[in-house]
Amino acid sequence: MPWLPEIEILKKKLKKKFTGKKLTNIEFYKDSIYYPQVKLLENELANRYILNITRKGKYLIISLEGGNNLVLNLKITGFLRYFSEKLLINNYTPMILNVDNGYLCLQNLSLRYVRSIPTIQLRNHPIFKDLGIDPLSDEYNIDKFYKITKKRKGILKLNLLDPTYVTGLGNYYVDEILFLAKLHPKREISKLNRLEIESLYSSINRVLNESIDVGGSSREGFCYHDGSKGRFQNNFNVYDRQGKPCPLCRRNINRIIVGGRGTYHCENCQK
């Protein structure tokens, strides 16, 4: 499941390997109901050099000469793999980018999440307009985070999962963040005080950066373009650890349901 740390790592890996390479051709799975739509991308993007690879929230942006950008949202299940030999185009591998002497294959993702956006429209494009603060960006600071947080209402965990508040936080990242901040997932976000908001802010920083340091998390088969995997799932304090001792107080980790999501926390440490 790629979330913000995994997309950030993937962006850096792809940028290092493919910047300056030529995207000679793009092939799409013809049986996809989105084929007529994405087929138009071939004329816009083929035979172009890759100028840069960036990220906005969970969106991966491959910028090409000529003023167009291939924009991908890998959602929860998608990933990219690079092979020296071409794979079979099918529903599991719906798009293949022919890049110089290899093939960058999109896997396990609907073509509905693939689009071309002109550079002139990129900054203010509708798909980006509702994205919340990016905790890996330069704009992420405690003053802005505090101001945005004080405007929120509702259950704390559900707010953290809302990309219009903070972008790119998946279920297990939120559980780990709340444990580190010592905040109960069902707290009312509007009732957090300044110190609690500061703790939440620093915990988001710490968890995401710790994940990046160990290559992100590889769950549900996720891997990077070169087949490598992350190890952050081995460092979970509470997620998927129901009945195991809390690393702080040694009481058992509890599992509850919050907004339909399995939620792991310590009733003793998180208030």
Reduce the DSSP state of residue 80 to 3 states and report it. Answer: strand
- Of the candidates 199, 201, 210, the one whose C-alpha atom is nearest the C-alpha of residue 166 is 201
Cα–Cα distance for residue pair 199/197, rounded to 1 Å:
5
Annotation: CATH topology of 142-265: Helicase, Ruva Protein; domain 3 (1.10.8)
Which residues lie across from 114 on neighbouring strands?
A: 72
- What pLDDT was estimated at residue 219? 81
- Of the candidates 250, 246, 133, 236, the one whose C-alpha atom is nearest the C-alpha of residue 177 is 236
Domain ranges of the chain: 4-122, 142-265
Q: For the residues 137-150, what does the mean pLDDT come to?
A: 95
What is the CATH code of the structural domain delimited by 4-122?
3.20.190.10
Using one digit for the tens of pLDDT, what is the confidence trace for 25-54? 999 999 999 999 999 888 889 999 999 999
Amino acid at 48: R
Using one digit for the tens of pLDDT, what is the confidence trace for 98-142? 998 899 999 999 999 999 999 999 989 999 989 999 999 998 999
Cα–Cα distance for residue pair 50/170, rounded to 1 Å:
30
Size of the chain, expressed as the number of residues it contains: 271
| Confidence check: pLDDT of 72 > 80 | yes
Look up the pTM and report it: 0.95
| Confidence check: pLDDT of 245 > 80 | yes
Which residues lie across from 105 on neighbouring strands?
A: 81, 96
In the numeric block, the tokens 């998608």 are attached to: 78
Cα–Cα distance for residue pair 58/167, rounded to 1 Å:
7
